[in-house]
Amino acid sequence: MEAAAVIKATGLVKKYGELEAVKGIDFAVPPGQCFGLLGPNGAGKSTTMRMIMGLSDVTAGTLEVFGKPAKNMPRNIKAKIGLVPQETNLDPDISVLENLAAFGRYFALSKTVIAERVPKLLEFMQLADKKYAPVNALSGGMKRRLIVARALIGDPEMVILDEPTTGLDPQARVLIWKQLLALKKQGRTLLLTTHYMDEAQRLCDQIVIIDDGRILDQGTPQELIDRHVKGYVFEVQKPCLAKSPAERWDQEDIGDSILYFVHQTADFISDLPEDAVYLHRPANLEDVFLRLTGRKLREN
């Protein structure tokens, strides 16, 4: 039997007046997994996360967090969740160390527990030599690391991460990935949103792709890749395209070239003309994401 889901959404709807931001979604986050919520800007990810945190009322459907409705979340449930918000909202008036200690007090931890956890967390996110620094003196990467450390002060069973590595250099991203995997190993549930598909592919056990308030598909990264973009991608420049009729290959016109999604590379290469110019690579989650959500810009 499967263990009870940490988060369970059934027909979840959120309306802001006339605008329907989340249009009836169903998903369940199993304990101890990293669950990815992916989607373009405005897809409804942040709204869903706010509902999970109890900061936004559910319009219709049900949303349960640790088996209790998210609305009027009891304090003991809230204490099991650590949030890494998208926006850097560290306390700029106090030091790195004090930020963690203050958060410990918001979780009603005793002085001894705070004194014991803070150095460990600083070590975990490699901030120990910055502990007396004012927050404003930290680089962007250090600030994000501190926010992750801060989310862990309450020893949460679930950590919610809203774009944890946006704007970070590769070194900082790698460190955060490594530590997130360590958190998963400790048995914590992770709920992650990100715009970096490599990040989702690397970290997530399960992924839900949402757009325009609806779930487009869900599964493991590999399932999604198999289902939507097969195993390999060939980007073939026009006009020297595959010789077989269009029905033979799963393809997508992206302007100057055509993308072919294929299971076997040898068959396809033999179908290309001698002078074809192409790039060839294994299909990844980014291909899935773009296929499902389209290539149009979302900011307009």
> What does the binding site for another protein look like in residue numbers (CB under 8 A)?
16, 50, 53, 55-57, 72, 74-75, 78-79, 81, 83, 85, 87, 89-94, 98, 102-103, 105-108, 154
**For another protein, the closer CB: 67 or 74:** 74
Instruction: Report the distance separating Cα 239 and Cα 246, nearest Å.
Output: 14
CB of 275 to another protein, least distance (A): 58
Residues in the chain: 300
Q: How far is the CB of 38 from another protein (least distance, A)?
A: 22
Token pair listed for 140: 């962007």
Least distance from another protein to the Cβ atom of residue 106, Å = 4
92/273 with CB nearer another protein? 92
Select 83 or 288, whichever has its Cβ closest to another protein: 83
Q: Which tokens sit at 72?
A: 């009027």
Tokens of 289: 């994401």
Nearer to another protein, 132 or 222 (CB): 132
Q: Which one, 94 or 290, has the nearer CB to another protein?
A: 94
- Residue 295 CB, nearest approach to another protein (Å): 31
- Give min distance, CB of 268 to another protein, in A: 49
Pairing of strands 214-219, 60-65: unpaired
C-beta separation of 147 from 82 below 8 A: no
Closer residue to another protein, CB minimum distance, 74 or 273: 74
Query: Which is it for strands 189-193 and 34-38: parallel, antiparallel or unpaired?
Result: parallel
Burial 114-147 (b: 16+ CB within 10 A, else e): beebbeebbebbebeebeeeebeebeebbbbbbb
Cis-peptide, bond into residue 164, ω within 30° of zero = no
The CA distance from 129 to 79, in Å, is 28
Q: Can you read off the two tokens belonging to residue 291? A: 């296929």
Q: Least distance (Å) from another protein to the CB of residue 114?
A: 11
Give whichever of 106 and 237 is closer to another protein, judged by the CB atom.
106
**Least distance from another protein to the Cβ atom of residue 1, Å:** 31
Residue among 161, 148, 147 at smallest CA distance from 191: 161
Core vs surface per residue 287-299: b (16+ CB within 10 A) or e: bbbbbbbeeeeee
